[in-house]
Amino acid sequence: MITLSHVSKWYQTFQVLKDCSTEIAKGEVVVVCGPSGSGKSTLIKCVNGLEPFQQGTITVAETSVGDRRTNLPKLRARIGMVFQHFELFPHLSVMRNLVLAQIKVLGRSNEESEQRGMRLLNRVGLREHASKFPGQLSGGQQQRVAIARALAMDPIAMLFDEPTSALDPEMINEVLDVMVALAKDGMTMMVVTHEMGFARKVAHRVVFMDEGRIIEDAPTADFFDKPRSDRAQTFLSKILQH
């Protein structure tokens, strides 16, 4: 479904991504982790072309992301993305957030879009908040709306860029629950996160990054039980301590 091969990216002279290759099959859940500044957010943003890259290729459902001839908006409409800071549109109601792209990008009718929006709000447990504005919701609620907004486009895969990092601790679980349910439904997911509990529970594979390089790419159980690299061992021992 998603293939990255030998992807490198530079900010001027600073190389943020170094020869990154990995693959995500349909229905697979891959967690990308690593210390901050390791390039994991940059990598996931390359997948839907929000960040350009200079070397290598990324293909999503047979479409090359880096190709100049690729209609990026069209490709992005099929890949859902959830951001660290939610990025709901603050000037629009929750329902308008959910229907805007359905109407303008997919050309769906108002009615159909609202029905789908309502169904998804129901799914993330926020049915009664449809007419509120994002600023009136808690962080956890906003992130659930953001997930619903991405799902409303019927994506073939979902990208999560540190979806719980900006949340208060007591709100993390409500968001993770939605993501776990999504994974159980068979959604193809690439998730940048520090939530190792989530990784253990639903990820098929874990990709570990450091200094722009993919250091480990292993099945979840292997990664947690016997990480091969010293770097991953130290990382795990630090974040699993508590």
Partner 1 sequence: MFSNFDFDVIIRSLPYLFYDGMTFTLTLTALATIGGIIFGTLLALMRLSGLAPLSLPAAGYVNLMRSVPLVLMIFWFYFLVPFIGQWITGASRPIQVGAFMSSLVTFTLFEAAYFSEIMRAGIQSVARGQVGAAQALGMTYVQTMSYIVLPQAFRNMMPVLLTQTIILFQDTSLVYVLSITDFLGAASKIAQRDGRLVEMYLFAAVVYFIISFAASLLVRRLQSRIAIIR
User: Under the rule (CB under 8 A), what is the footprint of partner 1?
Assistant: 45, 48, 50, 72-81, 83, 85, 87-91, 100-101, 104-106, 133-136, 149-150, 153
As measured in angstroms, the least distance from the Cβ of 87 to partner 1 is 4
State which residue, 61 or 218, has the beta carbon closest to partner 1: 61
State which residue, 136 or 229, has the beta carbon closest to partner 1: 136
As measured in angstroms, the least distance from the Cβ of 220 to partner 1 is 27
State which residue, 38 or 142, has the beta carbon closest to partner 1: 142
Maximum Cα interatomic distance, the chain, rounded to a whole number of Å: 55
State which residue, 120 or 214, has the beta carbon closest to partner 1: 120
Phi/psi of residue 196, each to 5°?
-70, -25
As measured in angstroms, the least distance from the Cβ of 100 to partner 1 is 6
As measured in angstroms, the least distance from the Cβ of 185 to partner 1 is 21
As measured in angstroms, the least distance from the Cβ of 61 to partner 1 is 14
As measured in angstroms, the least distance from the Cβ of 214 to partner 1 is 23
Radius of gyration of the chain, Cα coordinates, nearest whole angstrom:
18
State which residue, 104 or 184, has the beta carbon closest to partner 1: 104
* HEC per residue, 180-218: HHHHHCCCCEEEECCCHHHHHHHCCEEEEEECCEEEEEE
> At CA 65, angle to CA 61 and CA 69, rounded to 5?
110
State which residue, 93 or 173, has the beta carbon closest to partner 1: 93
- C-alpha span between 56 and 6 (Å, rounded): 5
Amino acid identity, position 210: D
Amino acid identity, position 28: E
Q: Do residues 160 and 189 lie in contact, with contact meaning Cβ atoms separated by under 8 Å?
A: yes
- Write out the H or E segment, with its range, that includes residue 175: helix 169-184
- C-alpha span between 66 and 17 (Å, rounded): 15
